[in-house]
Amino acid sequence: MQYDEVVIGSGAGSVIASRLSADPARQVLLIEAGPGYLGASQPEDLRDPWVSLVDHDWGYSADYRDGRVQPYPRGKTLGGSTAVNAAVAMRGSPADFADWVRRGNDQWSYEAVLPYYRRLETEAGADPAVHGNSGPLWIERAAADRWSDQGRAFVRAFGDLGFAALDDLNAGSSSGAGPVSHNVRDGVRQSTAIAYLDAPRSRPNLTIWDRCTANRVLFSGDRAVGVEYIRDGVAGAVTAGRVTVACGAIESPPLLMRSGIGPEDTLRRLRIEPVAVSPEVGQNLADHAAVFLTAVGAPTGREDPAEYFEFYMRDGSYYIALLTLFSQRALGVFFGDPNAAPIVAVAPGVGRPRSRGSVEVVSRDPVPPQVKLNFLTDPADVATLLTGTRLSWDVLHNKHFEPFVKQALPPLPEIIDDDAALTSWMRATCGTGFHPVGTCRMGPDSDAAAVADQHGRVRGVRGLRVADASVMPGLVSAPVNLTVLMLAERIAEWMAAENE
């Protein structure tokens, strides 16, 4: 069968497939490597809005820095990582998009992206100038009278330090502390599979193939004309008018390289016939380095079931999350022991890091790539995290927090004022919220090394786009899910209007 559109990967790819198939004249195929569940068939681990890495993970590892290799989860199911993530729904700030524009991406100002953040969501009762009320993704945010005691203390403590209290972190402020919004409805995580595919799946012009791994994009000259895949162990190929790659920041670069688009030396080493030389495919990997300042908590007995990542603060280039693990449920999920000591943690992260890692392809077959994060290699990131860590320390020891903190855990009390020791500790312990972006970054026409243009069109070929986290030119100072979906909404609109 000839499809007008083949979309590979179903995180942001579900947005593209859903929007393009709204036109009944367009035949759309969505390919997903993992298993697909729609409607009520979602297994429990995908319904539960806490991070779930039970069955639907690619099982990757990454070198965080200096050879410290740790797991690096990515969702492998319909909905991609949006189906397994922590459901924190936070937009990028105006300052973040000013940074994108500074890098030459003049079509991605905050004013330009705001309509697409609105389009993707329904946030009942929210200010309609800022929020959407008819989009596919359901968003919930706790009103002030439902804030947990710890969350209230977090906001008050930052207030003592001169930061604004915000009741909506997504209302266009670049600085302040407040409650996190979640893409959760009736206790169920709203992945893109649920939000974008549940209703459209009955369209006769939308075909979804799960358990189908794309091996490479096929070309006729410089035009993408199809996709070669393996489905249930059987190899096949499908022809396409256009192809959209949305495999995420770790899998999109290998797919492009297997298709002949990548750095010249890598293609030569892997004996792949070049279609277009593109030196930065797999480079510019950015992720949020973060550390956890933990303390033994003192539960009040009134914990909100929404505990976990409940409150955030951001300012300039860092953001700080409050993590409370007080209930037996939370302790069971995190430590496997519902009777573990309750933990309160304040976690600062580098919001717009300058350190860059890479995704290195090691084979012409679909095998795991080597991921290097190189966290905290740029001195500016170290300075940012030192500031964020000391601020977090002050919050943890603020009078408003006293009732919830029994004892700060070592080694921080001994090293908090020592630059060198604190830097070593940050480098040795930093983790992440799993927000990789940038490995097929976009750029303006004057930026010849950019893998894609500002519309996601891959340079040097025709009929091929990247529409996922990999095309972002840099990070935003927030978890990235909403920003990736906003980006996909925007690219889908351009695609629907284009006649190629």
Ligand X SMILES: Cc1cc2nc3c(=O)[nH]c(=O)nc-3n(C[C@H](O)[C@H](O)[C@H](O)COP(=O)(O)OP(=O)(O)OC[C@H]3O[C@@H](n4cnc5c(N)ncnc54)[C@H](O)[C@@H]3O)c2cc1C
Binding site for ligand X (CB under 6 A): 8-12, 31-34, 51, 73-76, 80-82, 84-88, 213-214, 246-249, 251, 255, 366, 433-435, 468-469, 479-482, 484
Residue 177 CB, nearest approach to ligand X (Å): 18
Name the β-bridge partners of 236.
229
Angle formed at CA 112 by CA 106 and CA 117, multiple of 5 degrees: 130
Most distant CA atoms of the chain, gap in Å: 67
In 3D space, the residue among 225, 257, 251 whose CA is nearest the CA of residue 238 turns out to be 225
Residue 397 CB, nearest approach to ligand X (Å): 27
Residue 187 CB, nearest approach to ligand X (Å): 16
Residue 266 CB, nearest approach to ligand X (Å): 17
Residue 133 CA to residue 84 CA, distance in Å, equals 25
Residue 182 CB, nearest approach to ligand X (Å): 8
Strand, coil or helix: what is 363? Answer: coil
For residue 87, count other CB atoms closer than 10 A to its CB. Answer: 25
Residue 356 CB, nearest approach to ligand X (Å): 17
Residue 45 CB, nearest approach to ligand X (Å): 12
In 3D space, the residue among 120, 119, 125, 113 whose CA is nearest the CA of residue 137 turns out to be 120
Measure Cα distances from 299 to 147, 156, 325, 486 in Å: 15, 18, 9, 38
Which residues contact residue 469 at a Cβ distance below 8 angstroms, ignoring those fewer than 6 apart?
11, 12, 248, 249, 435, 436, 437, 438, 480, 484
Nearer to ligand X, 422 or 484 (CB): 484
**Chain-centre distance for alpha carbon 340:** 30
Residue 313 CA to residue 311 CA, distance in Å, equals 7
- DSSP run (H or E) holding 248: helix 248-258
Nearer to ligand X, 228 or 394 (CB): 228
Class of residue 415 by CB neighbours under 10 A (exposed 0-12, middle 13-18, buried 19+):
middle
| Residue closest to ligand X (Cβ) | 11
Residue 271 CA to residue 332 CA, distance in Å, equals 48
Name the β-bridge partners of 367.
none
Class of residue 255 by CB neighbours under 10 A (exposed 0-12, middle 13-18, buried 19+):
buried
Query: What are the φ/ψ torsions at residue 115 (nearest 5 degrees)?
Result: -60, -25
Name the β-bridge partners of 319.
314, 349
Catalytic hit among 131, 182, 435, 455: 435
Q: To the nearest 5 percent, what fractions of the chain are helix, strand and coil?
A: 30, 25, 45
Residue 472 CB, nearest approach to ligand X (Å): 9
Q: Is 435 a catalytic residue?
A: yes
* Residues taking part in catalysis: 435
